[in-house]
Amino acid sequence: MVKRDMNSFNLNVAKSFLGKNVNLHLKDGSVIVNVQLAAIKRDEMRKEVFVSCVSYGKGNTLQIPLRNIAWAKLIDLNIFLS
């Protein structure tokens, strides 16, 4: 039996953050700050799922493997805009 962490970042959690600005905390300890989750893509050849992120204000797109993301923290943009 495989024990799973209840707070693990999975496909369903990623779908709930689509279109929202978040800080992505990766499993290697790094953080990608203030990105909007734009899309979820599957690569059938490599059997992998990627999360497409757009950086705030710049429009650069990143593709991060879903398995590399530990968790995400929602950002309140009203803090930045006021």
* Bridge-based pairing state of the strands 21-26 and 69-74: antiparallel
Residues 6-53: pLDDT tens digits?
Answer: 457 899 999 999 999 999 999 999 999 999 999 999 988 888 999 999
Burial class (CB in 10 A: 0-12, 13-18, 19+), 12: exposed
Nearest to 50 by CA among 66, 61, 72, 27: 66
Residue 1's pLDDT is 41
Instruction: Please give the residue that has the higher pLDDT: either 67 or 46.
Output: 67
- What is the sign of the dihedral through the CA atoms of 75, 13, 8 and 61? negative
pTM across the whole model: 0.80
- Which domains, ranges and CATH numbers included, belong to the chain? 11-81 (2.30.30.100)
Using 50, 70 and 90 to split pLDDT, how confident is the model at 80?
low
